[in-house]
Chain A
Amino acid sequence: NAGVTQTPKFQVLKTGQSMTLQCAQDMNHNSMYWYRQDPGMGLRLIYYSASEGTTDKGEVPNGYNVSRLNKREFSLRLESAAPSQTSVYFCASSELLVRSSNSPLHFGNGTRLTVT
């Protein structure tokens, strides 16, 4: 059972470069999320998708874009990377939005991104 698969696991970018983080889930979940995790801080929501075809900003969306390509896939794009975007990025999914349901979150293994 793959669950939530994120790629790549590690990435180093130079300031100004762009990249896309890929995420796919095989649990037929409606909702998907992108979080970033920084030392000493709780997870912060970047963007989320309540269902296929919809995306919404989270707490820290600046500098990022997302695409919900289909029900399985939710990608996160950094158009022009900055050192402040150095972080660990997690994709997650849930059957229904965690804001309004008892659905548990399922996480990918994370992407460690360094921007120099």
Chain B
Amino acid sequence: KNEVEQSPQNLTAQEGEFITINCSYSVGISALHWLQQHPGGGIVSLFMLSSGKKKHGRLIATINIQEKHSSLHITASHPRDSAVYICAVRRMDSNYQLIWGAGTKLIIKP
């Protein structure tokens, strides 16, 4: 079983819908990253959080450390939000920097 699991793997929605992408992990962590990978391949950091909630524009990220779960929400989704969204965790006891989820591919149709 992977230490970081994302769901769903693929998500297709209509423009304007509220989007939720989930990330569950099975290890103790000190921080969690959300990143966006554009269709062209570039990867951009969206959020890093260790508790609570962060908001940037239409994007909201939450984390529940006790439940080992984080969500990324997109409000009023737009076709330009189409991308792969990746979750990565900073494990407390690892030498490997970050442990990465496999990503959620999001397609927003106009």
Q: Footprint of A on B, CB under 8 Å?
A: 2, 4, 31, 33, 35, 40-45, 48, 86, 88, 90, 94-103
Q: Residue on B with the closest CB to A97?
A: B97
B100/A42 in contact, CB under 8 A: yes
A-B pair number, CB within 8 angstroms: 59
Q: How far is the CA of A112 from the CA of B95 in the complex (A)?
A: 27
The reply to whether the CB of A45 lies closer than 8 angstroms to some CB of chain B is yes
The reply to whether A99 and B97 contact each other, CB–CB distance below 8 Å, is yes
Which residues of A in the span 57-107 have a Cβ within 8 Å of any Cβ on B? 58-59, 88, 90, 92, 97-99, 102, 104-107
Question: CB distance A110 to B41 under 8 Å?
Answer: yes
B102 and A45 contact, CB distance less than 8 A? no
List of A residues within 8 angstroms of B94 by Cβ: 99
Which of B40, B44, B100 is the one whose CB lies under 8 Å from A43?
Answer: B100
What residues of B have a CB within 8 angstroms of the CB of A59 in the complex? 96
Contact of A98 among B4, B42, B97, B102 (CB under 8 A): B97
Chain A residues with CB under 8 Å of B4's CB are 42
A102 to B86, CA, bound (A): 17
Q: Tell me the bound Cα distance from A33 to B96 in angstroms.
A: 11
Would B100 and A106 count as touching, CB distance under 8 A? no
